[in-house]
A and B are shown apart, each in its own frame.
Chain A
Amino acid sequence: MDPFESIKQTFFQECDELLTDAEQGLLAMELGEADDETINAVFRAVHSVKGGAGAFGLEDLIRFAHVFETVMDEIRSGKMELTDEVAKTLLRAFDVLADHVAAARDGGKVEEGRSQGAYSELRGLIGGEDEEDDAMGGGDEDFGFVPLTLSIEGDEAPGGFIDLDAQNAEAGVELPVADAAPEEALSSWTIEFSPKSEMYAKANEAGLVLRELARLGETRVTLIDEALPPLDQLAAEQAYVSWRIQLFTDSDEASIREVFEFVEDDCNLTITCDGADPAAAAPAAADDGLSEDDRAAAASASADLDITALLARVGGGDAAPAEPEALPEIVAEAPVEPAAPAEDVAALIARAQSVEAPPAPPALKAAAPAPAPAAPPATAPAAAAANAAPAAAASVTIRVDLDRVDRLINAVGELVIQQAMLSQRVLESGLARSSNVALGLEDLELLTREIQDSVMAIRAQPVKSVFQRMPRLAREVADMTGKRVKLVMEGEGTEVDKTVIERLADPITHMLRNAIDHGLEDPEGRAAAGKPAEGLVRLRALHRGGRIVIELQDDGRGINRPRVRGIAVAKGLITEDQVLSDEEIDNLIFLPGFSTAEVISDISGRGVGMDVVRRSIQGLGGRISISSEPGKGSKFTMSLPLTLAVLDGMVVTAAEQTLVAPLSAIVESLTPRTEDVHYIGGKDAVIRIRDIFVPLIDVGVALGFRETAIDPASGVAVLVESEGGGKAALLVEAIQGQRQVVIKSLEANYQQIDGVAAATILGDGRVALILDVDALVTTQRRKPAARPSEKRMAS
Chain B
Amino acid sequence: MTTPLTTSTSPSRELIAFRIADQEFCVDIMQVREIRGWTTATPLPRTPAYMKGVINLRGAVLPIVDLGARLGLTTAEPSARHVIMVVNQGHRTLGLLVEAVSDIINVTEDMVQPTPDVACDQVKTFVKGLFAIDGRMVSLISLDRVLPEIEAEAA
B59 and A704 contact, CB distance less than 8 A? no
**A749-B59 CB under 8 A given contacts A705-B43, A756-B44, A792-B153:** no
Name the A residues within 8 Å of B62 (CB-CB): 749
Q: Could you pull out 24 A-B pairs where Cβ atoms are within 8 angstroms?
A: A703-B45, A704-B46, A746-B44, A746-B54, A746-B61, A748-B60, A749-B60, A750-B61, A751-B150, A753-B47, A754-B45, A754-B46, A755-B45, A759-B54, A761-B61, A765-B56, A766-B55, A767-B54, A767-B55, A767-B61, A769-B45, A792-B153, A793-B152, A794-B153
A749 and B40 contact, CB distance less than 8 A? no
Q: Is B92 an interface residue (CB 8 A)?
A: yes
Name the B residues within 8 Å of A767 (CB-CB): 41-42, 53-56, 61
B155 and A794 contact, CB distance less than 8 A? yes
Report the minimal beta-carbon distance from A133 to chain B, rounded to whole angstroms.
Answer: 57
Across the two chains, which residue of chain A brings its CB closest to B153? A794
Q: Is A40 an interface residue (CB 8 A)?
A: no
Name the A residues within 8 Å of B43 (CB-CB): 657, 705
A704 and B63 contact, CB distance less than 8 A? no
Name the A residues within 8 Å of B40 (CB-CB): 766
**A703-B46 CB under 8 A given contacts A749-B60, A751-B153, A751-B154:** yes
B59 and A769 contact, CB distance less than 8 A? no
In the bound complex, how far is the Cα of B43 from the Cα of A768, in angstroms?
9
Contacts of B14-44 to chain A: CB distance below 8 A: 40-44
Interface size class of A (residues with CB under 8 A): 20 to 34
Contacts of B56-94 to chain A: CB distance below 8 A: 56, 59-63, 92-94
Name the B residues within 8 Å of A300 (CB-CB): none
B44 and A761 contact, CB distance less than 8 A? no
Q: Mark A724-746, 1 if CB is under 8 A from B, else 0.
A: 00000000000000000000111
Report the minimal beta-carbon distance from A763 to chain B, rounded to whole angstroms.
Answer: 11
Name the A residues within 8 Å of B55 (CB-CB): 766-767
Name the A residues within 8 Å of B63 (CB-CB): 749-750
In the bound complex, how far is the Cα of B155 from the Cα of A744, in angstroms?
20
Report the minimal beta-carbon distance from A76 to chain B, rounded to whole angstroms.
Answer: 52
In the bound complex, how far is the Cα of B94 from the Cα of A657, in angstroms?
22
B59 and A413 contact, CB distance less than 8 A? yes
B59 and A410 contact, CB distance less than 8 A? yes
Name the B residues within 8 Å of A747 (CB-CB): 154
Judged by DSSP, the binding face of A is: loop
Interface size class of B (residues with CB under 8 A): 20 to 34
Report the minimal beta-carbon distance from A742 to chain B, rounded to whole angstroms.
Answer: 8
**A769-B46 CB under 8 A given contacts A749-B92, A749-B93:** no
Q: Is A122 an interface residue (CB 8 A)?
A: no
Name the B residues within 8 Å of A413 (CB-CB): 59
Extra 15 A-B pairs, beta carbons < 8 Å, given A744-B61, A751-B150, A766-B56 = A413-B59, A705-B43, A748-B61, A748-B92, A749-B92, A750-B154, A751-B153, A753-B46, A755-B45, A766-B40, A767-B54, A769-B44, A769-B45, A793-B152, A794-B155
Which residue of A410, A704, A795 is within 8 Å of B45 (Cβ)?
A704
Report the minimal beta-carbon distance from B9 to chain A, rounded to whole angstroms.
Answer: 38
A414 and B59 contact, CB distance less than 8 A? yes
Q: Mark A392-420, 1 if CB is under 8 A from B, else 0.
A: 00000000000000000010011001000
Q: Mark B115-150, 1 if CB is under 8 A from A, else 0.
A: 000000000000000000000000000000000001
In the bound complex, how far is the Cα of B52 from the Cα of A750, in angstroms?
12
Name the A residues within 8 Å of B56 (CB-CB): 761, 765-767
In the bound complex, how far is the Cα of B151 from the Cα of A792, in angstroms?
12
B42 and A795 contact, CB distance less than 8 A? no
B154 and A744 contact, CB distance less than 8 A? no
In the bound complex, how far is the Cα of B112 from the Cα of A717, in angstroms?
59
Contacts of A757-773 to chain B: CB distance below 8 A: 759, 761, 765-769
B155 and A750 contact, CB distance less than 8 A? no
Across the two chains, which residue of chain B brings its CB closest to A760? B61
B54 and A794 contact, CB distance less than 8 A? no
**A768-B59 CB under 8 A given contacts A750-B150, A752-B154:** no
Name the A residues within 8 Å of B94 (CB-CB): 749
Name the B residues within 8 Å of A754 (CB-CB): 45-46
Across the two chains, which residue of chain B brings its CB closest to A759? B61
| In the A-B complex, the 7 residue pairs with the closest CB atoms | A751-B154, A703-B45, A750-B63, A767-B42, A794-B152, A704-B46, A794-B153
Across the two chains, which residue of chain B brings its CB closest to A702? B45
In the bound complex, how far is the Cα of B42 from the Cα of A83, in angstroms?
66
Report the minimal beta-carbon distance from B94 to chain A, rounded to whole angstroms.
Answer: 6
Name the B residues within 8 Å of A769 (CB-CB): 42, 44-45
B60 and A744 contact, CB distance less than 8 A? yes
